[in-house]
Chains A and B, each alone.
Chain A
């Protein structure tokens, strides 16, 4: 097998894996958008916040320790215990549910019926707020997150492909785990939406707020549920990204990549988020490898996804799987 082709296939595979992670973040967007029509810009920051909280709980950090120290002049930093990963994840989930409740109770309850763009801007405000709170609570230095996920090159694939093609493929174990987790998550979410009582209520709200309200579905509860689910997805995404590249501010910028993913896939479609994620992941890696790095000076990953989505939207404004937009006066 020629070298160039082998490289290209390897880049393709890594693109798929990266795409899975984009899709993971995009899922959270789709969930909230379907149920409440809110385009949640803060999803990325929620992933960051979840990862920060997880690390903080595992390390036994005192929340707001810097602020407390600054005000009271004390020197507290750590409780002095280490929480096992599983328990810490459960505790973080509790925090995310509390956050979901607060967001619904203090922000979006007052914004029901506003224009979508106002809601969008409110989530940008929420993103800033959460980022500040996350930094104040746990400090802004880069942290490593280790919940015991396997990392490093997958030796088995490396040897297998080396024997078969004469070139060993480099694929990270973490990416494989992420793909499996994403698959489980998607199946779980679809099952939840299809076969449980709450899931059915959720779909009813997504379909028509007022009709759902009239048959006795509690909008408040469903919205809190949806934000909690989005918090859960954010936590999973935060764990994966955090384990990959450390918990730091750029996490929330990586999550911005989920936006073109959504535009490609359509805002309302869970399969669309997955397919869109894969297209963007593969597309930007291949573009960088084949065109960006040799001819354009590299780092094209920063903008390729947006440009792809932009060009794509001009031809199909509702995305790949989105519902047809019908406008009336």
Chain B
């Protein structure tokens, strides 16, 4: 079977499309995702791309994720969050050259921070291990970086992007929080809380990931905006998690995101601004 760009699909992709581990609406979502994206299988030559995947109990999803990784990657780093299933073994079997780290703390933020610190490539791409983010979109992110961006964030709400996974409540919360950030920082983000991002490794000193939870994407987006880095958005398609349950809780994590936004805003308040400094101390504690 041919992809829209004329390239042959791999045997694993065909298996997944036909009667692989996916069922029902998952298959339809995957088919839609595959057909709507004119993707290349290669990252641009001459640039070293590191991919960081944070995973916890994702043994069933890794085959799909790894099958969609483009060729020519510098390294793939899987940060294992103390999985109790065969996540690590599956990863090693699927990709012998993979670098596997076991995170020292807990949470996605901690996993991302440790994965970023271990990268040796020029470009770092962060994506999810649950199969909701399509690794085949990596060349699109890399191209945007090579065309002048310092940081490229995927967007489900930009033209050409979509999501079959997001609920109305999460979508509404995402938009409200995004509008809040845009107002505070003068940005034009269309999707604040999406975990598919890529950036030059030189941007790491500006990110300083020091949170644990799902607010990590918001933290990164806000710090990138504060530093004045050039941010581009590329459309991205998010499909339903293939297997397992999500650890994301709308209200709890939404509150953490809001707290992160406010705390980051207060962190740049001058020393003479007493009330913001007190509020910052309270939020930081």
A, B co-complexed: no
Interface residues in chain A, defined as those with a beta carbon under 8 Å from any beta carbon in chain B: none
Interface residues in chain B, defined as those with a beta carbon under 8 Å from any beta carbon in chain A: none
